[in-house]
Structure 1
Amino acid sequence: MAKGQMESGIVAGRLPAETIERNFGDLHPPLAPHEAAVAADRCYFCYDAPCVTACPTTIDIPLFIRQIQTGHPEGAARTILEQNILGGMCARVCPTETLCEEACVREAAEGRPVEIGRLQRYATDSAMAADVHPFSRAAPTGRTIAVVGAGPAGLSCAHRLAMLGHDVVIHESRGKPGGLNEFGIAAYKSTQNFAEAEVDWLLRIGGITIETGSALGEGITLDGLQDSYDAVFLSIGLAGVNALKAPGADKNGVRDAVDFVADLRQAGDLSALPVGRDVVVIGGGMTAVDAAVQARLLGAQNVTIAYRRDRDAMGASRYEQDLAASKGVRILTNVQPVAVHGNGTVREIELEYTTSEDGRLVATGETLRLKADQVFRAIGQTLSGAPGGLAQGGGKIAVTGPGRTSVKGVWAGGDCASGGDDLTVTAVAEGRDAAMDIHASLRAG
């Protein structure tokens, strides 16, 4: 451990190992068969079901729930996976409370929706446990497509292309595939190495090769990929993290929340991970909540989320906000950082109160200080320049329709592409749709 960490009070072992293991248990334990049957029986099986419209991957939700109800969970899984090949992970991490379940007629009528997310997990877990991949490849087309990035969008695109008979080579900069699902999701949402197991299962379609340690600008270029492959799909995510523009932001104990979450996901022993006593997370999105909650679960005594606007403007859903509060995380709104104090190592963070005037954020001049030995930045990520001169829009790669970029033969999807929400389920839909457009383009060409 670095000297600065030791001096700042960022230490490992704040809680016994068995307590930490219990803290990081499955957030939503899987349904037993009889529980799934009871949950499925609550569905009205609506015609033109609003839950389907609310699902970014347009899964036929009433159909798969009917299949569970009639005792065919593996058939239900196929219905799900035809639209969302990463349906198992999405069942665990998708904000169903603001998507399908919020649109559920039961939610409108009773304030208690059908448990669509847990039913989806029940079905997809059943399929994976059956050890049978439900899809097979079409006849070989002789075409090979490069996918850059093995996150949700890239994996979804690769699987659909492989199903259609194409060969796919995925170039992944990290040492293992999975992207956000592997490195960016709270450990209590994806337990028992599920992300890795899901990737292994997905690859059983065949025709997909993954080359790790292969990144754009480091041995491969967009021009080179265009010369070597019949098409290119970019799903490179957002590598840059927005800077904390406050004096002292470079002090020991200040770090990116995404790195903290990644460390948690890759740790073999969570009790060995260092955490501060007084932790402040700057931001209001899902990463902020994940970092804050996990700091508490590791044993931090005081954890605060500090967000510059009000709670309704937070990127994290109200469910996630309430989850954080239930774990002892304090949420301060309408505050923004103005300085990080300490002699080389963070000791306090100074926040200024804000207000909104005609939709514009205004600083009030009134400040407060919070004791802090660890500060996490969770204030958004950025694209570190569009590769190969691709047009940008809103700080991302500009795309039209199903992921077409400004360069012929190059598609993009996931967090790096303009439009859509930065969600796993949205990335899956974008990868799938781009694959279908690539396939149509290759057939037409």
Structure 2
Amino acid sequence: MTSPHTPGLVAGRLDAEEIALNFADLHPAYDPHEAAVAADRCYFCHDAPCVTACPTDIDIPLFVRQISTGQPEAAAQTIFEQNILGGMCARVCPTETLCEEACVREAAEGKPVEIGRLQRFATDSAMARQGHPFLRGETTGKSIGVIGSGPAGLACAHRLAMKGHAVTIYEARERPGGLNEFGLAAYKTTEDFAAREIDWLLGIGGITVAYGKTFGDNIDLPALQQEHDAVFLGVGLSDVNALDLPGFDLSGVRNAVDFIAELRQADDKTSIPVGRDVVVIGGGMTAIDAAVQSRLLGAANVTLAYRRGRDAMGASGFEQDLAAKHGVRLMTNATPVAVHGHGAVQEIELEHTQAANGTLQATGERFRVPADQVLLAIGQTLTQDAGLTTERGKIAVTGPGRTSLAGVWAGGDCTLGEDLTVVAVAEGRDAAEDIHAALS
């Protein structure tokens, strides 16, 4: 794939004022009165289905009641005890398919308690204070190496620091955060929230971050095991799946994850080139984020092409509707077969598909869509497994993240399970508890 700065791509399709408006907060924060009104809708269920639906097991009725009684910082403490990245999860979790879908109000009225926005209100209130909500435990003399500073690695490191262990996080990039910093749509985490949350999290002390350390390159597992009493792998999925089809090496074709990362790190979004006719290949959250942001940058026509039906898309119904609302054309049962152009992409050729006998089959019916930019969001894969047992292309674990190698744990996107921030946090937290028990 070639550089994004190719013919057909234009920066500054919209002026700075319109860009700022387009990339405003997707879910604006509640003010205190709005939060109180929203909290009063909660039934405070005893056996709350919303808690069962939360991967981090936050006591949702308790924190909502604390908000309703004017104690947002106490509510935040309830949240942080289970999910130290509760601020980010409040912004980016698909609450509509997790806690809010399970809400009794949703079943009764079709309008759940807005748990995500209430969680944000509480966590933002607490983070605005000086100081960290947890004290570091008495020093144990034990050292743990954490590979990757994404949600799983950060959650693991924080919980271990709470227990009094010394933690070193090894991060390949120049900034921490992983998916939260580089992989989410800019309108989901505004005002540099990811970086501010990490600074706040590291306030507990006992955690050192070493940058420019790439697993399998300038650091390896045997060396880390020699240096530390335990190792946690939160390496994510950094390799992008290849699409070996004619024309996919033309200028204007690139990975959606790189496009999103460039946009997230840009000080000036008007500097990001975007095509007039953009086609995104994929059906997950990354595909939606790339498609919507292309429109927000000023692309005239954006098509999201997915090889299966809409009900099979990895993106939630809310995300699909968000794309449609922003003028993205959702084209299902269409798979790419070639890209056409002279040096740079001009068209993408697709073929209709259909499900038959439980398998996806090509119909032979092909068509072309104009495109001067093609963004590939077809999934990512594990860079390297360091000889650990793998399953379906990911590191195999048992219980709270135990790998096939003694003294090594793993969690987050590099292991099996849903690739969600909140799931990664839960896995990092639970692995830390198991590491602490093993070292004790």
How many residues were matched structurally?
440
Q: Is the 8 A contact 2:382 2:393 kept in 1?
A: yes
Partner of 2:276: 277
> Out of 402, 405, 424, which is 1:404 matched to?
402
- Residue of structure 2 equivalent to 1:371: 370
Q: Answer yes or no: is the 8 Å Cα contact 2:394–2:415 preserved in 1.
A: yes
Give 1:433's aligned residue: 430
How far has the Cα of 1:379 moved from its partner? 0.5
Distance apart, 1:244 and its partner CA: 1.7
The aligned residue for residue 95 of structure 2 is 96
Deviation at 1:217, TM superposition (A): 2.2
Whole-angstrom distance in 1 between the partners of 2:369 and 2:219: 46
Deviation at 1:5, TM superposition (A): 6.0
Counterpart for residue 413 of structure 1: 411
Q: Does 1:111 align with 2:110?
A: yes
Residue 72 of structure 2: aligned partner: 73
Cα RMSD for the two superposed structures:
1.1
C-alpha distance in 2, partners of 1:374/1:411? 40
Q: Deviations over 1:324-368 (max 9, x none)?
A: 000010000000000100112110000000000122000000011
- Shift, 1:310, TM fit: 0.3
Give the partner amino acid of 1:168: V
What are the superposed Cα offsets for residues 361-380 of structure 1, whole Å, 9 maximum, x if unpaired? 00000011000000000000
- Normalised by the length of structure 2, the TM-score is 0.99
SS in structure 2 at match of 1:220: coil
> Which residue number corresponds to residue 424 of structure 1?
421
Structure 1, unpaired ranges of 5+: none
Indicate yes or no: 2:235 matched with 1:227: no
Q: Following TM superposition, by how much is the alpha carbon of 1:7 offset from its aligned partner in structure 2, in angstroms?
A: 5.8
The alpha carbon displacement at 1:220 in A equals: 1.2
Is the contact between residue 93 and residue 422 of structure 2 (CA under 8 Å) also seen in structure 1? Answer: yes
Give the 5 Å matches for 1:188-267: 188-267=187-266
Given that 2:7 and 2:344 are in contact with CA atoms closer than 8 Å, whether structure 1 keeps it comes out as: yes
Counterpart-to-counterpart distance in 2, 1:4 and 1:409: 41
Corresponding residue for 1:313? 312
CA distance in 1, matches of 2:300, 2:243: 24
Partners of 1:51 and 1:205 lie apart in 2 by 29
Check the 8 A contact 1:5/1:11 in 2, yes or no.
no
Residues 260, 290 of structure 2: 8 Å contact kept: yes
Question: Deviation string for 1:132-188 (max 9, x for gaps)?
Answer: 311001111000100000000000000000000101000000001000000001000
Letter in 2 for 1:398: A
| CA drift at 1:4 | 7.7
For the 8 Å contact 2:4–2:253, the answer to whether it is kept is: no
> 2-side partners of 1:90 and 1:122: how far apart?
12
Tell me: CA distance 1:179–1:48, structure 2 relative to 1, closer, same or farther (3 Å): same
- The one-letter amino acid paired with 1:401 is G
What is residue 24 of structure 1 aligned with on the other side? 23
Deviation at 1:218, TM superposition (A): 2.3
Q: 1:108 to 1:318 in 2, by over 3 A?
A: same
Equivalences for 1:57-206 in 2 at 5 Å?
A: 57-206=56-205
SS at match of 1:320: helix
- For residues 102 and 312 of structure 1, what CA distance do their matches in structure 2 show? 17
Describe the SS at the equivalent of 1:215.
coil
Give the structure-1-normalised TM-score: 0.98
Match of 2:286 in 1: 287
Instruction: Give CA-to-partner distance per residue, 1:95-138, whole Å, 9 cap, x none.
Output: 00000000000000000000000000000000001123110011
Structure 2: which 5+ residue stretches go unaligned?
none
Q: Which residue identity lines up with residue 376 of structure 2 in the other structure?
A: R
The answer (yes or no) to whether the contact 1:8–1:347 under 8 Å persists in 2 is no
1:246 deviation in Å? 1.7
Partners of 1:247 and 1:416 in 2: CA distance? 30
Amino-acid identity (%): 70
Alpha carbons of structure 1 residues 413 and 7: separation in structure 2 relative to 1, 3 Å: closer
Q: What CA distance in whole angstroms lies between the structure 1 residues aligned with 2:3 and 2:397?
A: 44
In structure 1, what residue type is equivalent to 2:9?
A: I
Is the 8 Å Cα contact of residues 2 and 254 (structure 2) preserved in structure 1? no
